[in-house]
């Protein structure tokens, strides 16, 4: 039997088993841990399919940060109540899921014959985009509108979480070992985040992955008690959060008024503008994600 086929089959079975176990386990904490493992396996699957960008994003955001967010939410929530969904809800969700599955199969099936027209289209216009990595070219040039909206979604999520006024986590006094370890990890996260950002123009990497790695460094430092509370009413914090969307919108609007159109970069300036947007977006994503996990929700009126 082919060794690669064996590995892939084991990976697929493990993914399905982990998904089922995550949904059907009794305890919330077990479900969260299984979900994190599921994210890591999913990252491995993306890497196996050759989608390294997605694998990096899934490992950093899907498994890492969402796992931390779920654990933080679990720590803030009270004792769980065992609830069972009524049969009508179950039937409705089964119906909805099967409809979605049909839609999904219809969307994915053409890809099986390698007949998708998009990759060739992207590669033929790659020279005009200003970057040499096709994924970055799609994200920040051909479909920049989607990336702008993703940043807006992240901003809305942060504002929504702030409206909820969730109580602060009671952080216990950090052990010296954790402090020493976070002192070692934080510079590493800056180096790796910077490397991912720099790499994004010509190889897998980019703003979201870099931002997630930077946020992880900040969160570890905050949990170890080495960073002061991340306060929303400190204006540089808000400026960092809003910077990504603001710069993106400014460039888009400037292109609309002065140049050829909304989010259409002038020829020759593509690389500079994309780099600027990537840097601002990385800072914005890093600060937003850190605030989502360890932000101080208390309003301190001046």
Which residues would be at the binding site for another protein (CB under 8 A)? 175, 177-178, 181, 184, 188
Place of tokens 């979605």: 100
Residue nearer to another protein on the CB measure, 50 or 176:
176
Q: How far is the CB of 177 from another protein (least distance, A)?
A: 6
- The distance of closest approach from Cβ of residue 252 to another protein in the complex, given in angstroms and rounded to an integer, is 39
Nearer to another protein, 86 or 176 (CB): 176
Tell me whether residue 111 or residue 177 sits nearer to another protein (CB atom).
177
CB of 73 to another protein, least distance (A): 20
Of 296, 279, 270, give the one whose Cα is nearest residue 130: 270
Least gap, CB of 202 to another protein (angstroms): 18
Least distance from C-beta 131 to another protein, angstroms?
A: 24
By beta-carbon proximity to another protein, the closer residue of 156 and 188 is 188
Closest CA to 214 of 154, 283, 160: 283
Burial 240-252 (b: 16+ CB within 10 A, else e): bbbbbbebbeebb
- Residues 276-299: b if buried by 16+ CB within 10 A, e if exposed: ebbbbbbbbbbbbbbbbbbbbbee
Nearer to another protein, 33 or 155 (CB): 33
How far is it, in rounded angstroms, from Cα 149 to Cα 249?
A: 10
Instruction: Supply the minimum distance, in Å, between the C-beta of residue 176 and another protein.
Output: 11
Question: In the structure encoding, which two tokens stand for residue 33, read together?
Answer: 């841990």
Of the chain, the end-to-end C-alpha distance in Å amounts to 70
Of 223 and 247, nearer to another protein (C-beta) is 223
Residues 6+ apart with CB under 8 A from 146: 139
CB-based contacts of 156: which residues, under 8 Å, 6+ apart? none
Query: Least distance from C-beta 188 to another protein, angstroms?
Result: 8
**Closer residue to another protein (CB): 187 or 266:** 187
**Residue 280 to residue 266: CA distance in whole angstroms:** 20
């Amino acid at each position: 039997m082919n060794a690669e086929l064996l590995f892939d089959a084991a990976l697929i079975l493990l993914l399905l088993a982990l998904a089922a176990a995550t949904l059907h386990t009794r305890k919330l904490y077990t479900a969260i841990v299984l979900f994190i493992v599921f994210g890591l396996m999913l990252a491995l699957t993306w890497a196996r399919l050759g989608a390294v960008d997605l694998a990096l994003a899934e490992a950093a955001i899907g498994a890492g940060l969402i796992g931390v967010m779920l654990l933080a939410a679990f720590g803030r929530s009270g004792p769980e109540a065992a609830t069972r969904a009524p049969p009508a809800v179950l039937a409705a969700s089964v119906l909805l899921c099967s409809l979605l599955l049909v839609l999904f199969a219809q969307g994915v099936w053409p890809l099986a014959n390698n007949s998708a027209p998009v990759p060739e289209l992207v590669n033929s216009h790659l020279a005009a985009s200003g970057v040499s990595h096709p994924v970055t070219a799609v994200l920040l040039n051909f479909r920049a509108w989607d990336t702008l909206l993703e940043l807006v979604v992240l901003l809305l999520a942060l504002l929504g979480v702030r409206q909820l006024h969730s109580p602060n986590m009671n952080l216990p006094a950090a052990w010296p070992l954790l402090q020493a370890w976070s002192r070692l990890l934080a510079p590493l996260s800056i180096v790796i985040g910077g490397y991912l950002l720099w790499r994004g123009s010509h190889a897998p990497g980019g703003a979201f992955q870099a931002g997630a790695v930077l946020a992880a460094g900040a969160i570890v430092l905050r949990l170890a008690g080495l960073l002061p509370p991340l306060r929303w009413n400190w204006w540089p914090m808000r400026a960092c959060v809003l910077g990504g969307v603001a710069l993106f919108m400014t460039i888009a609007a400037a292109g609309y008024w002065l140049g050829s159109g909304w989010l259409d970069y002038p020829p020759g300036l593509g690389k500079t503008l994309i780099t600027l947007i990537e840097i601002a977006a990385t800072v914005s994503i890093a600060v937003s994600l850190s605030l989502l996990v360890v932000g101080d929700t208390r309003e301190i009126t001046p």
